[in-house]
Structure 1
Amino acid sequence: MLMATWKLLHYFTYHKVTVVTSYPLGDIICNRDATGWISKWALELMGHDMRYLPRTAIKSQALVDFVTEWMEEQLPTPDVTHEYWMMYFDGSVMALGSGAGVVLISLDRSKVRYAIRIHFSASNNAVEYEALINGLRIAIELGATWLYVRGDSELVIDQVMKESSCKSPLMIAYCQEVPRLMDKFKGIELHHIPRRDNDAADFLAKLAARRDPSPSGVFINGIHEPSTRIPESLI
């Protein structure tokens, strides 16, 4: 359930969710004496409107009635008109500098490629965040409202999805900036992919890091400071 709330945050934020289960999850999560991981999970789930119902045996016509009632209560009218844009992002740190690469694929399957030259000292994780944040900003400017995001930085994806914690103030600031941008979409999903499946964004990131000339069809941007500010409380 916890992973579902992370990956489908926009659904859990705007809808009441009913969990049908054969296990007493409600009693476990709502147990005030819980400690350790259970108390941590309960704290994470506390902000969502969720109820837990036991799974019971249903037969014959009762099953039909149950399914009909369930569908009417739980499922909104499906939006068959929307489709998802796709976004791939990657970062690169090399001897000549750092860079980020972003590939956006629109609804008509046309591709927009960005190579972003980073003109400040940045770690490998920082350039990955720069790629993700700048890619989200570009997608917003281009009018994307539904977006699949794919990147090969497992750490960045895990931190954004709250599966691992940030250490430095800059990483915390980056990790806080991403959800603010995600809130501007009607629907968005982040997925980790193998490096071999991210060749196009990797090529653009290395192109920007090497300061190579822009090939045809590639937009070159430059940024001279981090795309987020460290809150004074973290300094």
Structure 2
Amino acid sequence: MVSWAVQLGEFDIQVRPRPAIKSQTLADFIVESTAPATEPAIMENNRGPTEQSGEIHWTLHVDGSAGKTVRRVGVVLHGPEGFTLEYALRLNFKASNNEAEHEALLAGLSLATDLGARKLKVYSDSQLVVNQVNGTYEAKGPKMKRYLQKVKEKLQRMGEVKILQVPQDMNN
């Protein structure tokens, strides 16, 4: 899905919000899109409920792409019981491919944090970004250092997060 979002991003597709949503339709959407509630066993540093055993696993696939005229980001978040959220962004500023990959990771982590993911596996096809975050590579240049700092700040607000590199054709 990420690759489709990236490919379709080069077309000027605009999404317009509906003018009004009736209250029952909105309530139905929230019920269908919300992860099932679990009984919290403990509160951890005021960050929200966690489970002592069998914590819910989330997976996040991120991908970014930058060309001369189009810069895109795709995020797919898989939550408990088959919950899936797909997210595509067009970057309205000049960015390198590595910066687009960092933007994808930041967008995905923000989304996962907002939805309450505590145990997360992140998949990216960017060798540079994965190894910078895992500490194998050093971030060079002021922009890359700022991106890495922002990613690490987001990771500190989450529970257990593993970031793995996957081949490009498996990042979906």
TM-score (norm 2): 0.68
Between the two proteins, the alignment pairs up a number of residues equal to 122
Deviation at 1:96, TM superposition (A): 3.4
Output aligned runs, 1:113-192, within 5 Å: 113-192=86-165
Paired letter, 1:144: A
What letter matches 2:138 in structure 1?
S
Q: Verify the 8 A CA contact 2:127 2:165 in the aligned structure 1.
A: yes
Q: Distance in 1 between matches of 2:87 and 2:61?
A: 11
Tell me the amino acid that sits aligned with residue 94 of structure 2.
S
CA distance in structure 1 between the partners assigned to 2:165 and 2:86 by the alignment:
20
Cα offsets for 1:65-95 (capped at 9, x unmatched) = xxxxxxxxxxxxx932312100000001134
- Structure 2 portions without partners, runs of 5+: 1-50
Instruction: Give SS of 2:112's match.
Output: helix
Q: Which amino acid aligns with 1:121?
A: K
Gaps of 5+ in 1: 1-77, 201-235
Counterpart for residue 72 of structure 2:
99
Equivalent AA in structure 2 for residue 187 of structure 1: E
Deviation at 1:178, TM superposition (A): 0.8
For 1:123-153, what per-residue CA distance to the aligned partner results, in whole angstroms no more than 9, with x for missing partners? 0000000000111001111111111101000
Structure 2: distance between partners of 1:80 and 1:166: 36
Provide the residue aligned with 2:62 in structure 1: 89
2:94 partner SS: coil
SS of residue in 2 equivalent to 1:121: coil
For the pair shown, the structure with the greater C-alpha radius of gyration is 1
| 1:103 alignment partner AA | V
Q: Secondary structure at the match of 1:155?
A: helix
Instruction: Name the SS for the 1:164 alignment partner.
Output: coil
Q: Distance in 2 between matches of 1:181 and 1:133?
A: 8
**Percent of residue pairs bearing the same amino acid type:** 34
- Output the aligned Cα RMSD: 1.3
